[in-house]
Chain A
């Protein structure tokens, strides 16, 4: 229950926060009117700020944070390695290059989303193909494939930056790579929401199997599961969720690595609980960080910067408090 309530509460609170002052009564009224489809006599400006600007941004933030964290948790289990994050198979590097390409070639937001998503998926598919040198997909080869693909796409991204027009395109690429939710609209939620929803639902359904997969291929096989198929499902779902998140938000580091750890400290390592907890924590965390990004300074601070600056000390605090949670 808390896992559902916490992100919702955070989203509601974030409706109050921003440069244009809206008091809590107005927020509650706007949300109530809109949900019950009643017309209400609140000034349009309030309705726009709360319902059309802050709410989609908070919802998208929650979805992006949740997706990055849940994929990170799933990959950590799959790769049997707590240092793995949602970008391990190259999805972020691929998406980064795709976005840069779109900025240079097309100058359109829709193209950025599309190419970022497509190249994010493409990177993971390439990593997967590289890993299939033997029968099956040995974990170590997957990681190696991810490293190779990531570095190739990073190089291509640098090339794109090098070739970009330094006055308009280069800043656009750099800002995209820092991650932001500033342009969030409902249409983003609907479009990017589809892969995110599919990915998250898949991971939620298969979450107990991730425990079994984390025993290693040979043991998982002897316990009676088809390791190649199950791994492919987990990778596919985590990739859909991450690519869907990254293509609308840009590169947001840290969440996919550290939120699962915070989850491990709070609820333990059983993926039955850890997977939903990671989603919930990631969602709440990113919305909060985004709120800080909006109010800390006059102009917005990009999300990718703040996640680490706020998340780092918080993580250290948790480490001290829980004594590492069994590691």
Chain B
């Protein structure tokens, strides 16, 4: 039984179909990269998996249990969420944000216990921002803020973490920091990560790190290709998906395995299209 199984999912709004016949599954210790142009339905798919939207048809199962039979706290114990943009309203302290990951374990009229605080602090430690715990999170940089969101997801203790373009607004170093954190967590804890991303190289990055990685390319409401990054993220597929010319290059790091990367060359007929 897979940790997450998505079976023939369709999603429709009254005026438009967003997703057609989406199927895949995710196992523990695996990174699943969801790629596709803007508006292809990635976020809708993630919302279905988080139980926020209901598919029109098809099934979403966590360890064999259909999502529509699960309550909000039950879903939260299976899947945690790192949003693309977190709208900061009140200047909460970092630890107050991270402890919210424990909400599904805390009764409606309760407050976090000492054990919950310990778990939250461990989560902060795991992503390496323990030192920030007493800072207002509105004062953090974008990268640090995103790490707080990752820590909050970890405090949830769910086997799957859904990340919606977690590096979208980050600089080069912080992007790499998030990726390294994900690799570390997947390797150490057997976490599974489902990540929507606009960067094909993220798929290669995880594969290069020796993690079991799947990449799914979503085009025209459907999964156009699904498999290992080295098989799926080909020059031909990326050309079809994004209308761009690319080259896949290898480079040999000293003593280590081959590093694969996508290098963009040019767009294809973007003036005429």
Q: Mark interface residues in B71-112 (1 if CB within 8 Å of A CB, else 0).
A: 111011101110100110111110010001101111011111
Is A224's CB under 8 angstroms from B156's CB? yes
B53 to chain A, nearest CB (A): 10
User: Among A216, A224, A269, which residue has the most Cβ atoms of chain B within 10 A?
Assistant: A224
Given the known interface contacts A215-B100, A326-B91, the answer about A272 and B111 at a Cβ–Cβ threshold of 8 Å is yes
Chain A residues whose C-beta falls within 8 Å of the C-beta of B93 in the assembled complex: 268, 270
Does residue A20 face the partner (Cβ distance < 8 Å to B)?
Answer: no
Is A221's CB under 8 angstroms from B136's CB? no
Does residue A26 face the partner (Cβ distance < 8 Å to B)?
Answer: no
A236 to B188, CA, bound (A): 45
Complex partner residue of B100 from A82, A223, A227, CB under 8 angstroms: A223
Is A225's CB under 8 angstroms from B89's CB? no
In chain A, what residue has the closest Cβ to B110?
Answer: A208
In chain A, what residue has the closest Cβ to B73?
Answer: A224
Does residue B51 face the partner (Cβ distance < 8 Å to A)?
Answer: yes
In chain A, what residue has the closest Cβ to B138?
Answer: A326
Is B92's CB under 8 angstroms from A223's CB? no
Report the number of A-B residue pairs with Cβ-Cβ less than 8 Å. 93
Q: Mark interface residues in A65-106 (1 if CB within 8 Å of B CB, else 0).
A: 000000000000100111000000000000000000000000
Is A216's CB under 8 angstroms from B87's CB? yes
Chain B residues whose C-beta falls within 8 Å of the C-beta of A216 in the assembled complex: 87
Is A208's CB under 8 angstroms from B52's CB? no
Does residue A218 face the partner (Cβ distance < 8 Å to B)?
Answer: yes
B161 to chain A, nearest CB (A): 10
Complex partner residue of A82 from B50, B90, B156, CB under 8 angstroms: B90
Complex partner residue of A208 from B89, B105, B106, CB under 8 angstroms: B106
User: Among B73, B77, B91, B103, which residue has the most Cβ atoms of chain A within 10 A?
Assistant: B103
Is A221's CB under 8 angstroms from B51's CB? yes
Chain A residues whose C-beta falls within 8 Å of the C-beta of B77 in the assembled complex: 224
Chain A residues whose C-beta falls within 8 Å of the C-beta of B103 in the assembled complex: 209, 212, 220, 223-225
Is B96's CB under 8 angstroms from A211's CB? yes
Given the known interface contacts A269-B92, A270-B92, the answer about A224 and B104 at a Cβ–Cβ threshold of 8 Å is yes
A221 to B63, CA, bound (A): 20
Does residue A114 face the partner (Cβ distance < 8 Å to B)?
Answer: no
Is B90's CB under 8 angstroms from A77's CB? yes
List 8 additional contacts besides A223-B103, A224-B104, A269-B91; criterion CB under 8 Å: A81-B89, A218-B50, A221-B52, A222-B81, A224-B105, A225-B76, A225-B103, A268-B93
Residues of B participating in the A interface, judged by any CB pair closer than 8 Å: 47, 50-52, 71-73, 75-77, 79-81, 83, 86-87, 89-93, 96, 100-101, 103-106, 108-112, 136, 138-139, 152, 156, 162
Residues of A participating in the B interface, judged by any CB pair closer than 8 Å: 77, 80-82, 205-209, 211-212, 214-216, 218-227, 230, 233, 264, 268-270, 272, 325-327
